A and B are shown apart, each in its own frame.
Chain A
Amino acid sequence: MGTMQADQERLAALEGMGCSRKRREDPRFLQGKGNYVDDIHLPGMLFGAMVRSPYAHARITRIDTSRALALPGVRAVLTAEDLKPLKLHWMPTLAGDVQAVLADGKVSFQNQEVAYVVADDRYIAADGAELVEVEYEELPALVDPLRALEADAPVVRTDIEGKLTGAHGARSHPNHIFRWDIGDKDKTDRAFDGADVTVVQDIVYPRVHPCPLETCGCVASYDKVRGDLTVWITSQAPHVVRTVVGLLSSIPESKIRIVSPDIGGGFGNKVGVYPGYVTSIVASIVLGRPVKWIESRSENLSTTAFARDYYMRGELAATPDGLVKALRVHVTADHGAFDACADPTKWPAGMFHVCTGSYQIPNAYVAVDGVYTNKFPGGVAYRCSFRVTEAVYLIERMMDVLALRLGIDKTELRLRNFIRKEQFPYTSPLGLEYDSGDYEPALRKVLAAVDYPALLAEQKARRANADEEWLMGIGVCTFTEIVGAGPSKMCDILGIGMFDSCEIRVHPDGSAIARMGTITQGQGHQTTYAQIIASEAGIPASQIAVEEGDTSTAPYGLGTYGSRSTPVAGAAVARASRKIREKARRIAAHLMEVSPDDVEFDLDRFVLKGSPDQSKTVKEVAWAAYNNVPPGEEMGLEAVDYYDPPNFTFPFGAYLCVVDVNRYTGESKVRRFYALDDCGTRINPMIIEGQVHGGLTEGFAVAMGQQMPYDESGNLLGATLLDYFVPTAVETPHWETDYTVTPSPHHPIGAKGVAESPHVGSIPCFTSAVVDAFAHLGVTHMTMPHTSFHVWQQCQALGLTRGTTGATP
């Protein structure tokens, strides 16, 4: 039909929400014209290299920089002594602690920063770093967080040893950082005391690292004459960095420009402020020349924001038919030597309290003890949504454990316990109000898609065959995520509320420019934000320039991590677009000499109600905005919105994994992975699928191979890509994706955010599958990573391998 076709053409021209718009970012990346921090070359630029401690715990007895300084081309060597007069040898962390910028008399983790060499080029800087002589007196290292609070444990933080309170309250021990708890302890304890069935499981979520392909770095450029500081930096939160740098340096924010250019992956690794940034800024100020610092991969893996390291004990109380009555959790959280976690200030365990999951559990109590160890700092990173990876892992493992105890199928157990659609908005016993969800259809859709009964039948047949070489496991995960941090009354970073922002300015020709307070690191913001504006304001996406990351032009925002861009900045984009649309309506009505109530918005124009042939396009309105506006209206067509979300959003999903484990080698092959995600309104299906693929792949890496093992002296074993498992195209499974749509009721366009869900949900699913391969033999849990070695050890313990002579049993 003519009208429908015309509408289709207009829709296609708009490239608004819901379509697989090709990416605006791609042309430059495909031609090698990206602008990453290490691509930046400035006249007179110097290069810095960090000198780092080989010991995990040691006193520094002597630092001699003279040989380094004597090397031609070395311009400066900074130590803590040089930073002391500036009071910059220590810096505040995002978690209310302090972190040494350059070690002040003592090192507390292997590879901690000790000195900073600045030279004419990176080759001389490397040579200079080798010439810095440091003498150490080794101290015993604390590596096991479960021993951190023992009376004779080595004290990691002698600098705060006497302090009995930290940023989060009382400290029970010099190595204690905080105790945080939530929920009704007494009611929960009573529920356990009276329960028919209880299960308990110790669950470790090992330390891993996000390992973005681009390491962290910066170019700091201080102009002595103008008193201006510009820093190009790999940062997921440039405005926060500007505020922090202002606080540290006493330079007013109006004279600081932080630019996050193209970033080669963030995954939470690029949120905090690292010593190398501070030393580069100081060096630039002192030397009056730009200073570049780009860390190596091993520096990245061994010193920048790690993820997880949660030692959890989970307990469930239930009825004999599997209705969960209570959840109780204790966590020992290993934060490393400095608490540098990026969490909202009030929540030192992030959103771990979403650990009641997708289930209506009436009673719950959670307590988390954070501790220091002689390892590198961090904890919140790697697509975790602020500890949601840990929370979902905990509850999903516990549900599997309960299912095994009761002999109930784990999907059936979940169905029995799901929060029902009619119960939303649902307030959990740990105080979170879930905005929406519809869990049962999602799980049923997945089970139907994979023919779950057939898989169970196959598994049964394989188990009946004693000669079967391959153990088949079926894993399930039904997760609820909490993202979009967050309402400022609950969420702040260093006292700044976690709102976000958008400004849009429409040009006379109808094209536009829009800026937000977030910063993409591959998520496609230049593409997707424009789609929101296109749908809401009727401007073709191809005519909308989207910019982020330059604090001199972008409105203040808290950055991109924790899947917050769509829920928070995306809402600001929609609302700013609607402000544009409403002003445009008034101008259109003025042009048509009717009342604004007489026109309605139709894709890309305003149409007179009842007379569809009378209309004004948004393009025509844009021109008019600069010369012919209604009386009392300002010229121009622009809008700003700062959005303080009323709540988090709650994407959810149902994942199923089939794995085949070789009993003789421990090798696991992922036969099938089906991922159904509900992120509410879907802005760009192609980009959503890409985010899901990426999150599943990183989840696969975590579950099946990534680890950061320490020996008892605090040496980190395997901090290179030789050992740190980053899968290639060969290992990575094929992903099947699906979706349902349950819009967020409080979000202007009903969108929830998605990028971390596949990571949060896949990791428990892989574990569920590998454990399921052995479940019929009494195994209830296995600790990640499920490397061939670890899985073989499980096979060995069960007598499934060929034993020490290699003979077939």
Chain B
Amino acid sequence: MTAKVLVSFHLNGTPADVVVEPRELLIHTLREKCQHTGPHIGCETSHCGACTVDMNGMSVKSCTVLTVQAEGAQVLTVEGLAALAQDGAALHALQEGFAQEHALQCGFCTPGMLMRGYRLLQENPDPSEAEIRYWLAGNLCRCTGYQNIVKAVQYAARKLRGEAVETSHPLLPAAAEQPA
């Protein structure tokens, strides 16, 4: 057993101090020591992206980051996303978009998808569909087939740009479509 190290970073804006072996992975620290079980583990080969968090302004797979590398870092997880909502809304535009566009089913990929979507829109506020798919290629989903996730990101992009939004899934069909 190697000597443990004190690592200090910021987690969703709050200081976090943890004592870890150098080999401890950030995903385990977040989920176990910091009790933030939003980011998930879906593989061990750095492919699935379910562990994606935002670290120092970058989307990173926290399963491929040592906690010791996060010394002094600003880490955002899905638990802190709502606090970043504009205009005092209860949820971030992305979270709202995912709900409106049915962009989640089992929910397991969702935290990673949201945090990736967050950084994507920070860097590209008006992405095309092809760009959204390309910039989400590090996040796997087995349930949705991605089509509604794309729509959700587009919904959020419009909202963040201050444009009007609509959902693809109105609660009730328009009156004109109702049978007589």
On whether the beta carbons of A297 and B171 are closer than 8 Å, the reply is: no
CA distance A730 to B32 in the complex (A): 33
CA distance A697 to B47 in the complex (A): 18
On whether the beta carbons of A693 and B37 are closer than 8 Å, the reply is: no
* Interface window among A28-36, A314-322, A360-368: A28-36
On whether the beta carbons of B47 and A20 are closer than 8 Å, the reply is: no
On whether the beta carbons of A693 and B148 are closer than 8 Å, the reply is: yes
On whether the beta carbons of A721 and B104 are closer than 8 Å, the reply is: no
CA distance A734 to B1 in the complex (A): 51
* Interface window among B54-62, B64-72, B133-141: B133-141
Contact with B along A118-143 (1 / 0, CB 8 A): 00001100000000000000000000
On whether the beta carbons of A729 and B171 are closer than 8 Å, the reply is: no
On whether the beta carbons of B78 and A38 are closer than 8 Å, the reply is: no
CA distance A19 to B1 in the complex (A): 58
Partner of A694 from B23, B32, B50, B105 at Cβ < 8 Å = B105
Q: Which residues of A contact B110 (CB under 8 A)?
A: 29-30
Q: Which residues of B contact A691 (CB under 8 A)?
A: 105
Q: Which residues of A contact B32 (CB under 8 A)?
A: 41
Q: How many A-B residue pairs have CB under 8 A?
A: 197
On whether the beta carbons of B147 and A735 are closer than 8 Å, the reply is: yes
CA distance A211 to B142 in the complex (A): 8
CA distance A12 to B172 in the complex (A): 7
Minimum Cβ distance to chain B for residue A171 (Å): 37
The answer to the question of B5 belonging to the interface, with a C-beta cut-off of 8 Å to chain A, is: no
Minimum Cβ distance to chain B for residue A635 (Å): 35
Interface residues of chain B: helix, strand, loop or mixed (majority): loop
Q: Which residues of A contact B1 (CB under 8 A)?
A: 72
Contact with A along B27-41 (1 / 0, CB 8 A): 010011001111111
Partner of A264 from B31, B40, B171 at Cβ < 8 Å = B40
Q: Which of A36, A123, A686, A722 has the most CB of B within 10 A?
A: A686
Chain B interface residue count: which class? 35 or more
Minimum Cβ distance to chain A for residue B144 (Å): 6
Contact with B along A729-745 (1 / 0, CB 8 A): 11010110000000000
The answer to the question of B162 belonging to the interface, with a C-beta cut-off of 8 Å to chain A, is: no
Minimum Cβ distance to chain A for residue B33 (Å): 11
CA distance A11 to B175 in the complex (A): 12
On whether the beta carbons of B102 and A23 are closer than 8 Å, the reply is: yes
Q: Which residues of B contact A26 (CB under 8 A)?
A: 98-99, 104, 107
On whether the beta carbons of B142 and A32 are closer than 8 Å, the reply is: no
The answer to the question of A263 belonging to the interface, with a C-beta cut-off of 8 Å to chain B, is: yes
Which chain B residue has the least Cβ–Cβ distance from A73?
B1
On whether the beta carbons of B102 and A698 are closer than 8 Å, the reply is: no
Q: Which residues of B contact A11 (CB under 8 A)?
A: 172
Contact with B along A1-44 (1 / 0, CB 8 A): 00000001001100100011111011111111110101101000
CA distance A691 to B79 in the complex (A): 27
Q: Which residues of A contact B39 (CB under 8 A)?
A: 32
Minimum Cβ distance to chain A for residue B25 (Å): 9
Minimum Cβ distance to chain B for residue A433 (Å): 31
Minimum Cβ distance to chain A for residue B117 (Å): 11
Q: Which of A196-230 touch B at CB < 8 Å?
A: 211-215
CA distance A213 to B110 in the complex (A): 11
CA distance A698 to B142 in the complex (A): 7
Partner of B143 from A38, A72, A265, A721 at Cβ < 8 Å = A265
The answer to the question of B19 belonging to the interface, with a C-beta cut-off of 8 Å to chain A, is: no
CA distance A25 to B136 in the complex (A): 23
Interface size in chain A (residues, C-beta < 8 A): 65
Q: Which residues of A contact B95 (CB under 8 A)?
A: 30-31
The answer to the question of B82 belonging to the interface, with a C-beta cut-off of 8 Å to chain A, is: yes
On whether the beta carbons of B108 and A32 are closer than 8 Å, the reply is: no
Q: Which residues of B contact A215 (CB under 8 A)?
A: 42
* Interface window among A107-115, A252-260, A521-529: A521-529
CA distance A387 to B71 in the complex (A): 52
On whether the beta carbons of B28 and A726 are closer than 8 Å, the reply is: no
Minimum Cβ distance to chain B for residue A73 (Å): 9
The answer to the question of A158 belonging to the interface, with a C-beta cut-off of 8 Å to chain B, is: no
Q: Which of B45, B77, B105, B170 has the most CB of A within 10 A?
A: B105
Q: Which residues of B contact A722 (CB under 8 A)?
A: 45, 47
Which chain A residue has the least Cβ–Cβ distance from B49?
A728
Minimum Cβ distance to chain A for residue B68 (Å): 14
The answer to the question of B126 belonging to the interface, with a C-beta cut-off of 8 Å to chain A, is: no
The answer to the question of A696 belonging to the interface, with a C-beta cut-off of 8 Å to chain B, is: yes
Partner of B171 from A21, A41, A687 at Cβ < 8 Å = A21
CA distance A20 to B169 in the complex (A): 6
Q: Which of A123, A264, A296 has the most CB of B within 10 A?
A: A264
5 interchain pairs, CB-CB under 8 A: A26-B98, A26-B104, A30-B104, A36-B40, A721-B140
Q: A29-B104, A722-B47, A732-B133 are in contact. List 8 more A-B contacts (CB 8 A).
A: A38-B37, A214-B40, A214-B42, A262-B106, A265-B108, A693-B147, A730-B134, A734-B147
Chain B residues in contact with chain A, CB under 8 A? 1, 21, 23-24, 28, 31-32, 35-45, 47-48, 50, 77-79, 81-82, 91, 95, 98-100, 102, 104-111, 114, 132-134, 136-150, 169-172, 175
